[in-house]
Each structure stands twice: as C-alpha cells, then as structure tokens.
C-alpha cells in the first residue's frame, strides 16, 4: 500500500472511529482503553462527560486538516504511473502524443523488472530523456505526495 492509499484509508476511518468513541467503544484507541480499564471499575469504563466531546472535536479537526492538505484528486495516482505494463494502452487518448511514448515504454522488458523493484519516483526520474511527456505527468502526480 502506498502513501496516498494509506492516507485515504486513514481519512475513511476517522468518522468510524468518532462514531465508536461516541458509542463508548474504544477499540481504536488501545491506550485510552487501557487507562479507562485501569482507572475505573468494571462497571464504569466510559470517558468523563467533558472529555468525549473534546476527543470528537479533535477527530473532526484532524479530518478537516488532512482534507485541506490533500485534495482527493491529488491522491489518485493513475494506474499507468504505478505500472505501465499492467495498464491497457487505451488509458491514454489517441490524440495525446504521450501515447507514442507509452507504447515505446511498454516494449522495454528491462524496464518491466525495474517497475516491480524500484521506487516509482526514482524510476520515473531515470526515464526523463527517453519519455519526457510521460515523466512530466508521472512526476506531477507523484511529487505532491
């Protein structure tokens, strides 16, 4: 799983964690749960009334802050950038001159192995001379991350 996927996963889980917190389910906060169990008797393992709204506000702020840092479109790296050898050539339109570069790149067996073993940013940087249009787009998608 790469960074954009992890961030999307985290953002998707925050509302769930908030709902669980509101329902006195602390499984996503093991240290908090441990403190509650340790400091309270078995019958009362809930947060103090003043603390729960604070934690919920914090989760809302966290969600808002992350959404403000990364727009959803920036997080979606096109499939051909991740691995052009697994992507259909029709992912790039016929009118786009980058399609020629894409077809050329897909015929390079040596590159196929590199895409499976190297960091995407490093790999695309090494291809600047051979595939400038593709590299420009790939780096444009990868650099914000």
Q: Final residue of a domain: which of 56, 74, 92?
A: 74
pTM reported for the whole predicted model: 0.52
pLDDT for the residue 71: 54
Return mean pLDDT, the chain.
Answer: 84
pLDDT below 70 — which residues of the chain?
Answer: 1-4, 39-45, 68-77, 144-145
Same domain, 91 and 114: yes
Residue range of the domain that includes 36: 3-74
pLDDT for the residue 119: 85
Q: What is the pLDDT of residues 92-124, one digit of tens each?
A: 889 999 999 999 999 998 888 888 888 888 899
pLDDT for the residue 4: 67
Same domain, 37 and 99: no
H-type alpha helices, 1-97: 3-22, 30-39, 51-69, 72-75, 79-82
Same domain, 40 and 96: no
CA distances from residue 39 to 23, 28, 33 in whole angstroms, order as listed: 19, 19, 10
Domain count, the chain: 2
């Amino acid at each position: 799983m790469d960074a954009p996927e992890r961030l999307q996963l985290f953002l998707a889980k925050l509302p769930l964690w908030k709902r669980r917190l509101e329902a006195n389910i602390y499984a996503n906060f093991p240290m908090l749960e441990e403190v509650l169990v340790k400091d309270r008797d078995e019958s009362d393992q809930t947060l103090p009334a003043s603390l729960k709204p604070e934690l919920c506000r914090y989760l809302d702020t966290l969600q808002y802050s992350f959404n403000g840092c990364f727009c959803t479109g920036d997080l979606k790296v096109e499939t051909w950038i991740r691995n052009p050898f697994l992507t259909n050539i029709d992912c790039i339109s016929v009118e786009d001159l980058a399609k020629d570069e894409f077809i050329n790149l897909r015929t390079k067996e040596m590159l196929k192995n590199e895409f499976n073993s190297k960091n995407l940013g490093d790999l695309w940087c090494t291809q600047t001379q051979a595939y400038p249009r593709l590299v420009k787009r790939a780096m444009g998608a990868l650099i914000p991350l």
